[in-house]
Chain A
Amino acid sequence: MRIILALLLTATISFLAGLRLEWWSIAIVSFLVALLIPQKISGAFISGFLGIFILWAVLALWIDSKNGNTLSFKMAELFKLGGSSILLILVTAFIGGLVGGFAAMAGSSLRPLPRARRY
């Protein structure tokens, strides 16, 4: 459940940060969320990755549908993706996801180690 919470927080705060800040604010947000919310390092990677992946995919899809695929088609031709808008959206989301994932890993690994229980 914490992964879901972290994922939602990462996506929401990154969106808000992106209204004003440089694109790489996604790294800071993912880092801070993972620092705050206890997760396994692998879990943090997944929540960071998916948080940004979903955010960027949804935004790109939304923009693209309003534009009627005109620009995404041309860009997907330009970047040798065979004119596939969907592929370009996936690449976009994946690149963002990678940054979010690794930043979340870094944040998570800064957390204090969970204490071993003593009996």
Chain B
Amino acid sequence: MRIIPFIISSFITIALVFALNKKWGPIPAIGKFLSPQQGFWQNAESIDGNKNENIPYKNLKGKLSVYLDDRLVPHVFAQFDEDAYFAQGYLHAKYRLFQMELQTFAAAGRISEHLGNDPRFINFDREQRRSGMVYGAENALKAFESDPVSKKVCDAYTAGVNAYINSLTASSLPVEYKLLGYEPEPWSNMKIALFLKQMSKTLAGYDNDLENTLSKPGLSFDDLMQLNKQVPDSLVPIIPKGTAFDAPGITPVKPANADSLYFEKKDTAKVLQYSKPNPLNGSNNWVVSGQKTSSGAPILCNDPHLELTFPSVWYEMQITSPNVNVYGVSFPGSPNIIIGFNDNIAWGVTNAQRDVRDYYEIQFRDESRKEYMYNGNWTQTQLRIDTIKVKGGTNIHDTIAFTVFGPVVYDRSFSKALSNNKAIALRWTAHDESNEGMTFYKLNRAKNYDDYLDAIKTFSCPGQNFVFASKQGDIAIWQQGKFPARWYGQGMYVMPGTDSSYQWQGFIPQNENPHAHIDSGFLESANQRAVDSTYPYFIPGNYITPRGISISRNLSSMQGITIDDMKALQTNYYSVFAEGARNVLLKYVNENALDAEGKKYLDMVRNWDLYATPNSTGTTVFQTWFDSLEASIWADEWKKNSLQMPYPAEQTLLEWMNKDSAFKYVDNINTPEKETLNDIVTRALQKAIPELMEQQAGGKLEWTKHKDPTIYHLLKDNVKPFARKIPVGGWSNVINAVTTTHGPSWRMIVQLSEPIEAYGVYPGGQDGNPSSKFYDNFVDTWAAGKYYRLWFMKENESKDKRILSTLTFSKS
């Protein structure tokens, strides 16, 4: 025995194993991670294709088979609904577990627990919890666990997710867990509720109430409403103009003291929301009746615009049992098909963009936050102490006070530097008890308009435009949600929270929600305001006008519509906004003031065909010029008044320029002279020239190179090699609404003929595993504006050569 060499080599070995088995900051445990038998190599899938599998499930009720086709789309065939939802949960977990967990961790404010000790994560988590995300999910859970059908569906789904999680070993964990160094936890029905709340935040979590409140010293209410124009002149509403609305069932009354205590009170809250959802989360849908189509059957189209990620937010599948036969896309994290079709109907959704959040200033009795003033009495709050676990740090305990208005989001213990230590509570329809899953459960089974209406009428949040078509030939749309009935101006600012007079006085009755049900013509929605000015309620929202104009203009002029026409329309790049805006730019630009470079770029805009195609240079020059114009118009007033809200909608600016070239914001208040619109438009182009020259020198004048659209993995820049650039055109104001990271996350076209003919595609792939050929195999098809024919499989086709593999389930 040789002592010295033993000690030295043992020490080195132990130190090596220790160092290689430990995570160092963002670097995973190297030895464990590289081990071909345990680490990431185990995630490398064989390209030969998937193998057939048999999965044991002790509570199986009947025969259950899943056929995976050549795009890895599963076709689930079950004898019992419970088995079908078990399979859906199992499949979601098998292909998307990391995503499901991350999204629900985000919803629950548990990001720091898994991603680390970073103030950004901790603030995010605290705001999530304080804005009532968990509270809302608990209420949703109550609603769907008290309904026996929902409970059955969710229990089966959760069992499916857990069956997959329990089958995992250290070596078969998805690669993201190996990179980050944590393991999945058991799934639960609460996580389904959390997932739905995260969708509510994404789609109904946007408002500018806090920013508006900050603007009070510099901007009157009338100015604010002028900048947030409610009914644009060019609006093509979802419900055709001239439709008569019923007299309102509820007439909210403005408090008598509103002028002094609300509209003109200037020293209220000074807080800003920490994480705001992207206002570009929009969508298109439309439906044309058989009279307008070449087949004589209605065609329904839908493309929801969300953040484009790997894995995609969507997972495509078919679910078949004796009670249901439905095909479409589902959300990993929740049961049912969300957008799709069955043997009788098709449906789709776009976001309603309605504001369903209001803030109230709370007056606490003292720093303990145990009591607050309400209707003249000190009233008890409910204090809830949340524990936020922090990876690599100590736990944080956060006390959240709940009032009659809702949770107090910002107070002395949590607010940004701007805060006056005021306490601000949030009232949000996403807090209320409701069962959104039931809507989809019923839609999946709906046979006609009545079933559809019965399915959607309880849907509360996020408000959606549900478009509908049936084989019987009728088409419909409802803007459905639980929307507060507000008096004019209510909730544009933080409201007094010391008595009940500023609370919501009720909700717009469901049957007064904007809707249309017709047999001929077409219906469309694209995040515009749903109704013209004759609708009897004040309905503020973050509306987007131009796409609705484009769709409506196209559909009005079309006859004998084919599926190919609909594909062309969904991928249409024409900018109706630029059509109007270019006229204004060309009308007011003073060409003589431009140098040779300026004239060159001006010509590019002049000669542009108004299509935001990938290689168009006109789009880049136009957009850069218009951005520069917006800054020239607004930046001076914004700076002077310390305004924090985004600039007004581009449509508002365009309409203003068209109507009144001398409107008050044109003048640059920082210069002694009074500018005209000619000066400002010309100067905006001149200011844009250096950027344009730089872009051109870098070979980035072509639109797609300029905007650089990319699909990132959910872990963003941390895993850049998992991302893909997509060489596409488009913009948020054109029908094909691809921006830099957002866009049509699923395109679907369904012709309600016999048999149904359906097409679809999403930018991603069915398998979340970055090693799989199914990780991103739809991307090129999507980017090229092409589609897959959707295979609405029948069980007797199980020998079809499109079936790659089969999962069977058995009791032991």
Q: Name A residues whose Cβ lies closer than 8 Å to a Cβ of B.
A: 15, 18-19, 22-24, 27, 31, 41, 56, 59-60, 63-64, 66-68, 70-75, 77-78, 83, 91-92, 95-96, 98-99, 102-103, 105-106, 109-113
Contact = CB atoms under 8 A, between A and B. Distances in A.
A66 B771 CA distance: 11
A99 B20 contact: yes
Given A22-B38, A102-B12, A106-B6, A72 B44 contact: yes
In this complex, which of B17, B36, B42 has the most chain A Cβ atoms within 10 angstroms of its Cβ?
A: B36
Given A102-B13, A109-B9, A23 B31 contact: yes
Nearest to A57: B36
B32 interface: yes
18 contacts: A18-B38, A22-B170, A23-B31, A27-B17, A41-B9, A59-B37, A66-B47, A67-B47, A67-B771, A70-B44, A70-B47, A70-B771, A71-B43, A74-B771, A98-B16, A99-B31, A109-B1, A111-B1
Contacts of A64: 41, 44
Contacts of B47: 66-68, 70
Contacts of B511: none
Interface string B668-682: 000000000000000
Contact of B5 (A41, A98, A103): A41
In this complex, which of B13, B46, B771 has the most chain A Cβ atoms within 10 angstroms of its Cβ?
A: B13
Nearest to B179: A78
A111 B9 CA distance: 13
A95 B21 CA distance: 12
A77 B270 CA distance: 45
Given A67-B44, A105-B5, A109-B9, A77 B34 contact: no
Which 8 pairs between the two chains have the least Cβ-Cβ distance?
Answer: A71-B771, A23-B35, A59-B36, A18-B37, A77-B721, A105-B9, A67-B44, A109-B6
Interface string B690-701: 000000000000
B722 interface: yes
A54 to B, nearest CB: 12
B48 interface: yes
| Interface secondary structure of A, over-half rule | helix
B39 A23 contact: yes
B128 to A, nearest CB: 29
Interface string B720-750: 1110000000000000000000000000000
A18 B51 CA distance: 23
Contact of B36 (A66, A77, A92, A98): A92
In this complex, which of A18, A74, A110, A113 has the most chain B Cβ atoms within 10 angstroms of its Cβ?
A: A74
Interface of B: 1-2, 5-6, 9-10, 12-13, 16-17, 20-21, 30-32, 34-48, 170, 175, 719-722, 770-773
A47 to B, nearest CB: 14
Contacts of A78: 719-722
Contacts of A92: 34, 36, 41
A73 B771 CA distance: 9
A63 B142 CA distance: 47
B721 A74 contact: yes
B693 to A, nearest CB: 33
Contacts of A112: 1
Contact of B20 (A31, A95, A110): A95
A102 B722 CA distance: 35
Contact of B770 (A19, A74, A98): A74
Contacts of B772: 70
A106 B35 contact: no
A95 to B, nearest CB: 6
Contacts of A95: 20, 30-31, 34
A27 B5 CA distance: 17
A27 B35 CA distance: 12
B722 A23 contact: no
Given A59-B41, A63-B44, A109-B6, A70 B36 contact: no
B785 to A, nearest CB: 26
A68 B770 CA distance: 13
A62 B96 CA distance: 26
B38 A106 contact: no
A19 B39 CA distance: 12
B31 A24 contact: yes
Contacts of B39: 23
B38 A23 contact: yes
A70 to B, nearest CB: 5
A32 B89 CA distance: 45
B18 to A, nearest CB: 9
A96 B34 contact: yes
Contacts of B770: 70-71, 74
B13 to A, nearest CB: 4
A72 B772 CA distance: 12
A69 to B, nearest CB: 9
Nearest to A83: B721
A111 B6 CA distance: 10
Nearest to A112: B1
B468 to A, nearest CB: 41
A113 B1 contact: yes
A78 B719 CA distance: 6
A111 B10 CA distance: 14
In this complex, which of B35, B46, B170 has the most chain A Cβ atoms within 10 angstroms of its Cβ?
A: B35
Nearest to A24: B17
Given A95-B31, A99-B13, A106-B13, A77 B37 contact: no
Given A24-B21, A60-B41, A70-B773, 4 more contacts: A24-B17, A24-B20, A66-B44, A71-B40
B35 A56 contact: yes
A67 B41 CA distance: 10
In this complex, which of B17, B31, B44, B719 has the most chain A Cβ atoms within 10 angstroms of its Cβ?
A: B44
Contacts of B46: 66-67
A74 B32 contact: no
Nearest to A18: B37
B386 to A, nearest CB: 34
Contacts of A27: 13, 16-17
Contacts of B40: 71, 75
B720 A77 contact: yes
Nearest to B169: A20
Contacts of B37: 15, 18-19, 23, 59
Contacts of B32: 22-23
Contacts of B5: 41, 105, 109
Contacts of A105: 5, 9, 12-13
Nearest to A30: B13
Contacts of A75: 40, 721
Nearest to B4: A109
A41 B7 CA distance: 13
A111 B70 CA distance: 58
A78 B9 CA distance: 32
B721 A113 contact: no
Given A59-B37, A77-B720, A113-B2, A71 B44 contact: yes
A91 B34 contact: yes
A84 to B, nearest CB: 13
A78 B40 CA distance: 12
Contacts of B1: 109-113
Contacts of A72: 41, 44
In this complex, which of A63, A72, A75, A83 has the most chain B Cβ atoms within 10 angstroms of its Cβ?
A: A75
